[in-house]
């Protein structure tokens, strides 16, 4: 694994390396940034996102905690309330539920509950999503659970460049951020990432591709299939606008609305199960605000309302390029 310790400004790196790059950058420029989590020290985290950081920053800034997720979240809140900027790693999102009480009842409300006196600039990072043949409890996408909570930000990068820029923004943000890293695309592509310390904006969708016929909205690992589907559809003369939602909450709905008003068609792609999710939220917003501009019903390509199957069958669960193409062809002939 390439640790990219070279001091060159531009690195051709994977998404997980971009995470490391952003952490290292921010730890260098801001002494209050500290890391905590399980196995993040000498081991560099199970996905190596913190590789080399213990050596550079020492025990006081890269802390291996006891194996206790509730504690990690609660402790991060305490640290944040006392002037640090903790970035906590939860080894897998499947183990984040023990942190739920702290996120819902404290992190997201402490600013409100103290009228701004105590704030909670924490980042909780967690790898999530399916497609890497992981054991049970390692593959779900439950971002909607957290997106429902007022006061939390939920951010999901989908490329090395966005991982770098959005993680910087998350660390600098004075509100709590859940930073979910789609592990399926941790190492799938390399991009040139400049270590310039410039954050990307939160609360903003990114338009990855422009088109007049269909708006495709997605985030995380599914962006990959979504872009491939857009390419395939283009070969058939159907031009898709592809939006990467990036910040799930608060959601930049206006960009989606503007795009859908232009194309008249929308297909939402997400890995999470179908019902009560972020896709439903977007569809409801479009029903409220774009009904008369829609040329076809809003479509969703999603996982099912089932437990994510064990990995031999996970390809049946995950939205595929072909699923997206099929739905889009239906949209065009509605």
Q: Which residues bind other proteins (CB under 8 A)?
A: 34, 60-61, 63, 65-66, 68, 70-71, 73-84, 86, 101-102, 105-106, 110-119, 150-151, 153, 173-175, 203, 250-254
Question: Cβ atoms within 10 A of the Cβ of 105, count?
Answer: 12
H or E segment at 264? none
As measured in angstroms, the least distance from the Cβ of 40 to other proteins is 15
Q: What is the dihedral of CA 89, 305, 268, 155, to 10 degrees?
A: -10
As measured in angstroms, the least distance from the Cβ of 253 to other proteins is 6
User: Encoding tokens for residue 285?
Assistant: 């917003």
Q: Which DSSP category does 114 fall into?
A: T
Nearer to other proteins, 13 or 205 (CB): 205
Span between the terminal Cα atoms of the chain, in Å:
48
Nearer to other proteins, 48 or 111 (CB): 111
Burial class (CB in 10 A: 0-12, 13-18, 19+), 244: buried
Exactly one of 11, 102, 138, 270 is catalytic; name it. Answer: 138
β-bridge partners, 36: 63, 88
As measured in angstroms, the least distance from the Cβ of 245 to other proteins is 11
Nearer to other proteins, 120 or 144 (CB): 120
Give yes or no: 138 in active site: yes
Cβ-Cβ contacts under 8 Å for 58 (sequence gap 6 or more): none
In contact, 98 and 63? CB cutoff 8 Å: no
Nearer to other proteins, 115 or 312 (CB): 115
As measured in angstroms, the least distance from the Cβ of 75 to other proteins is 4
Residues that are catalytic: 138
């Amino acid at each position: 694994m390439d640790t990219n310790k070279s001091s060159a400004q531009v690195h051709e790196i994977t998404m997980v390396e971009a995470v490391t790059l952003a952490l290292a950058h921010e730890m260098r420029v801001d002494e209050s940034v500290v890391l905590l989590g399980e196995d993040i020290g000498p081991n560099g985290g199970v996905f190596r996102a913190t590789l080399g950081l213990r050596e550079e920053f020492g025990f006081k800034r890269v802390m291996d905690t006891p194996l206790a997720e509730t504690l990690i979240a609660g402790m991060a809140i305490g640290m944040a309330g006392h002037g640090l900027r903790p970035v906590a790693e939860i080894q897998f999102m499947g183990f984040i539920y023990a942190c739920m009480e702290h996120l819902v009842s404290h992190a997201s409300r402490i600013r409100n509950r103290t009228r701004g006196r105590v704030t909670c600039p924490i980042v909780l990072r967690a790898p999530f999503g399916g497609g890497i043949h992981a054991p049970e409890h390692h593959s779900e996408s439950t971002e909607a659970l957290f997106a429902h909570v007022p006061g939390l930000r939920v951010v999901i990068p989908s490329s090395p460049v966005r991982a770098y820029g959005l993680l910087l923004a998350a660390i600098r943000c004075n509100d709590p951020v859940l930073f979910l890293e789609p592990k399926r695309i941790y190492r799938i592509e390399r991009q040139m990432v400049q270590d310039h310390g410039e954050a990307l904006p939160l609360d903003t969708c990114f338009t990855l591709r422009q088109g007049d016929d269909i708006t495709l909205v997605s985030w995380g690992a599914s962006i990959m299939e979504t872009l491939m589907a857009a390419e395939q559809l283009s070969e058939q003369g159907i031009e898709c606008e592809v939006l990467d939602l990036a910040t799930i909450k608060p959601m930049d709905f206006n960009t989606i609305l503007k795009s859908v008003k232009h194309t008249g068609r929308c297909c939402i792609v997400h890995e999470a199960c179908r019902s009560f999710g972020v896709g439903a939220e977007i569809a409801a917003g479009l029903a409220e605000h774009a009904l008369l501009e829609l040329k076809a019903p809003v479509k969703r390509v999603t996982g099912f309302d089932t437990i994510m199957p064990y990995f031999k069958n996970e390809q049946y669960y995950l939205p595929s390029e072909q699923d997206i193409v099929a739905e889009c062809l239906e949209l065009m002939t509605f």
